[in-house]
Amino acid sequence: MSFLSSVLLALGALPAVFPAPVGGDARTDKRPVGLRPLDFPAALSTARVEKRCVLALFCDGEASCRTLSEDMLKEVKLRAWLDEKVVAIQVDKGAQLELSAKYRIRSTPTYLFVDAKGTELDRIVGARDSKALRAEGEEILKGGDPLERLQKRRKGRESDPEMRLRYADILCDRGELDAALVEYLAVHAQGGPMAGPAFEELLRLGRIYPKASEAIAGIAAAMEPRIQSADASDAEFERWFGLCRQLKLELRMLALHDALARFDGQAEVDAAHKERAAALRKRIAPALRDLFYTDQRYADLGGLIEDALADFGARKARHAELATAGDASATKTSLRLLREDTARDYETLAAVKRLGEATLLADALISFDTTVATYDALIEGAQRANAGSEAKMLASRGRSDARIDPKLRIAIGPTIPHQAK
């Protein structure tokens, strides 16, 4: 027995027999069903056959979906209205992330009305009782302009972030990009739960409208003076940092990271301000690991390595998990990245003269992946770090490693001359 039928029985009603996904009504009686056990594509197919639209009730999580469906099934008038007017289904937002993103489902419950082609007609956001849902649904089914309906609902609530986002969405879909941009920026500036979704829409808009990308970069730039002076609050910093990471503005982050370092040498700056600047630099630094490596800023990189062996253990665990999945290509890529990342850490430790840690890390990597590629990665790292003696030691060790084919190991460390016997 289906879940919906079980609920009906629990409510003292006769079990329902649902209509077939396509074609005529296959039920043996006409008792109202309400929600149909169809996925979204099947609902669209059914809507085309029945010449009606789809009403998708988006909920979030199994418990929420169960509660909403039970509440709807209690309402006989609502079930009858749904049967008569639409193809009604339920969608778990968390389980249908791609579909939810496509239709910009940001909160639940959301009652989404789409035509048989999947084009949105309108939506109702937030819980409604049976009477209100039917009344608002009737207005949508009559046609008309969804923007006009939204404007009526927004009257006196123009600053409501969710309604403002919906307003911006409609403007964007109609090609009124300048107006949509203004609204998205305003919602983002308000902060709160809708700031994140507003930023996602700004990113999406930026892919087709350069003015939006410029506006986002401008948001980050406007926030930087307070961060450079170490006066920004945690919330301000996190907002700026989030913008830079999502836009991949590594050079902007690097410039600010270095600007904050100036406080260290200023005697007139109080200790609390210096401590704040140092804390902000520490929070930025992990996002700059690749830039630090490219520029051979080993002191900065070394500050990011607290326990090299523990980091290596975490990489091995992730690799093992991926290898268990059985994807040979992904496993090969994972092993290469593990080798390269560990060799980078080795290079950094050698450069900052943490040679004991460097040796232990090299031993761990060689034991795990005894290959020519591992030795060459470590040797190259030692040479970049100007640790010539370490490079020679590794080359000698690799060339005599009996676990590697003699024909292969002889070529380890090709830039390092073989020692005369």
- Domain range annotation of the chain: 3-144, 305-421
Q: Which residue has the higher pLDDT, 296 or 62?
A: 296
Closest CA relative to residue 366, chosen from 415, 323, 407, 404:
404
Of the candidate ranges 8-22, 82-96, 172-186, 218-232, the one whose mean pLDDT is the lowest: 8-22
Q: Is this prediction's pTM over 0.75? A: no
Q: Does the pLDDT of residue 292 top 50, yes or no?
A: yes
Mean pLDDT, range 25-54, rounded to an integer: 80
Tell me: pLDDT of 197 over 60: yes
pLDDT, residue 13, reads: 37
Task: With a cut of 50, say whether residue 245 has pLDDT above it.
Answer: yes
| Stretch 263-280: mean pLDDT | 81
d(CA 213, CA 211): 6
Residue 291 has pLDDT above 50, yes or no: yes
Q: If pLDDT is split at 50, 70 and 90, which confidence band does 309 have?
A: very high
* Average predicted confidence (pLDDT) for the chain: 87
Is residue 21 over pLDDT 80? no
Long-range Cβ contact pairs of 160-168 (< 8 A, separation 24 or more): 161/187, 161/190, 161/192, 161/193, 161/194, 161/195, 161/198, 162/106, 162/107, 162/125, 162/194, 164/194, 165/104, 165/106, 165/194, 165/197, 165/198, 165/201, 166/123, 166/125, 168/198, 168/201
The residue-averaged pLDDT of 134-160 equals: 90
% of the chain beyond a pLDDT of 70: 91
Banded model confidence at residue 26, pLDDT cuts 50, 70, 90: very low
Distance in angstroms (rounded) separating the CA atoms of residues 385 and 77: 76
Compute the average pLDDT of residues 50-55. 95
The residue that leads in pLDDT, 243 or 298, is 298
Q: What burial letters (b/e) apply to 379-392, b meaning 16+ CB within 10 Å?
A: bbbbbbbebeebbb
Confidence of residue 32 (pLDDT cuts 50, 70, 90): low
Looking at the domain that runs over 3-144, which CATH code has it been given?
A: 3.40.30.10
User: Which DSSP string do the residues of 95-151 spell out, in sequence order?
Assistant: T-HHHHHHTT--SSSEEEEE-TTS-EEEEEES---HHHHHHHHHHHHT---HHHHHH
Determine which of 58-72, 314-328, 383-397 has the lowest per-residue pLDDT on average.
58-72
Lowest-confidence segment of 25-39, 251-265, 318-332 by average pLDDT: 25-39
Mean pLDDT over residues 164-173, rounded? Answer: 93
420 — pLDDT class (breaks 50, 70, 90): low
Q: Omega into 406 within 30° of 0, i.e. cis?
A: no
pLDDT at 31: 53
| Cα distance from N-terminal residue to C-terminal residue, the chain | 82
Say if residue 421's pLDDT is above 50: yes
Mean pLDDT of 404-409: 92
- pLDDT score of 24 more than 90: no
